[in-house]
Amino acid sequence: MRNIAITLVLISVAVAGCSIRQCYWYNPAKTLEEAKQDCRECYNEAVTEASEAVAEYYYDHAAPPGPSYDFGRGIVSSEADYNALYGWIMWGDSYRQNVFRGCMKRRGYFRIREDQLGQSVRKRSLSMDNVAGR
16 bridge partner residues:
none
For the segment 21-67, what is each residue's pLDDT rounded down to a tens digit?
699 999 999 999 999 999 999 999 999 998 888 777 666 655 444 44
For the segment 70-102, what is each residue's pLDDT rounded down to a tens digit?
444 555 556 666 677 677 778 888 989 999 999
In angstroms, the CA 112 to CA 115 distance is 8
Burial class of residue 39, CB neighbours in 10 A (0-12, 13-18, 19+):
buried
> Is residue 51 within 8 Å of residue 100, measured between CB atoms?
no
> Where does the pLDDT of residue 10 fall: very low under 50, low under 70, confident under 90, or very high at 90 and above?
very low
